[in-house]
Amino acid sequence: MADTSTQVMDSDRLESGWLPNLRYDLPAGLVVFLVALPLCLGIALASDAPLISGVLAGIVGGLVVAALSGSALSVSGPAAGLAVIVADGIHTLGTFEAFLAAVVVSGIVQVILGAMRAGIVATLFPLSVIKGMLAAIGIILILKQIPHALGHDVDYEGDLSFQALGHQANTFSEIADAFMSWSPGVALLTLASIAVLIAWERKPIAGSQLARVLPGPLVVVVMGVVVNELYAWFVPSFHITAAAGHLVTLPVFDTLGEARSLLTAPDLTRMLEMDVVIVGVTIAIVGSIETLLSLEAVDKLDPYKRVSPPNRELLAQGVGNVVSGMVGGLPITAVIVRSSANVYAGARTRQSAVIHGLFLLALVVAVPALLNRIPLGCLAAVLLMVGYKLARIKLFQDMWARGIDQFLPFVATIVVTVFSDLLMGVAVGFVLAAIMVVLTNFHTSIVVVQDGDDYLVKFTKDVSFLNKPKLAKVLASIPRGARVVIDGTRASFIDFDILEAVDDFATSAALRGITVERRGVDTRAYPFTLSRR
Mean pLDDT of successive 10-residue segments in the chain (533 residues)?
44 74 94 94 91 94 96 95 92 96 98 94 89 95 95 84 77 93 95 96 85 89 96 95 90 71 89 96 96 94 93 97 97 96 94 97 88 94 95 95 93 95 93 86 82 91 82 90 92 86 89 90 59 48
Residue 217 and residue 200 in contact, taking contact as beta carbons nearer than 8 Å: no
> What's the pLDDT score for residue 430?
94
Question: For residues 328 and 339, what is the distance between their CA atoms, to the nearest angstrom?
Answer: 24
- DSSP-based three-state secondary structure for 373: coil
Closest residue by Cα to residue 218 from 371, 79, 60, 336 = 371
> What's the pLDDT score for residue 527?
54
Question: For residues 375 and 226, what is the distance between their CA atoms, to the nearest angstrom?
Answer: 10
For residue 150, the number of C-alpha atoms closer than 13 Å in the C-beta half-sphere is 17
CATH number of 445-519: 3.30.750.24
> What's the pLDDT score for residue 129?
95
Q: Looking at the DSSP assignment, which residues form a beta bridge with residue 217?
A: none
Strands 515-519, 483-487: pairing kind: parallel
Distance of CA 13 to the CA centre of its chain: 27
> What's the pLDDT score for residue 532?
47
Question: For residues 407 and 220, what is the distance between their CA atoms, to the nearest angstrom?
Answer: 37
> What's the pLDDT score for residue 14?
77
Question: For residues 331 and 80, what is the distance between their CA atoms, to the nearest angstrom?
Answer: 11
> What's the pLDDT score for residue 466?
78
DSSP for 99-110? HHHHHHHHHHHH
> What's the pLDDT score for residue 365?
83
DSSP for 290-348? HHHHHHHHHHHH-TT-----HHHHHHHHHHHHHHHHHHTPPP-EE-HHHHHHHHHTT--
> What's the pLDDT score for residue 56?
95
3-state SS record for 60-78: HHHHHHHHHCCCCCCCEEC
> What's the pLDDT score for residue 4?
45
> What's the pLDDT score for residue 467?
84
> What's the pLDDT score for residue 445?
84
Domain with CATH 3.30.750.24 in the chain: 445-519
Angle at 128 between CA 317 and CA 293, to 5 degrees: 5
H or E stretch at 484: strand 483-487
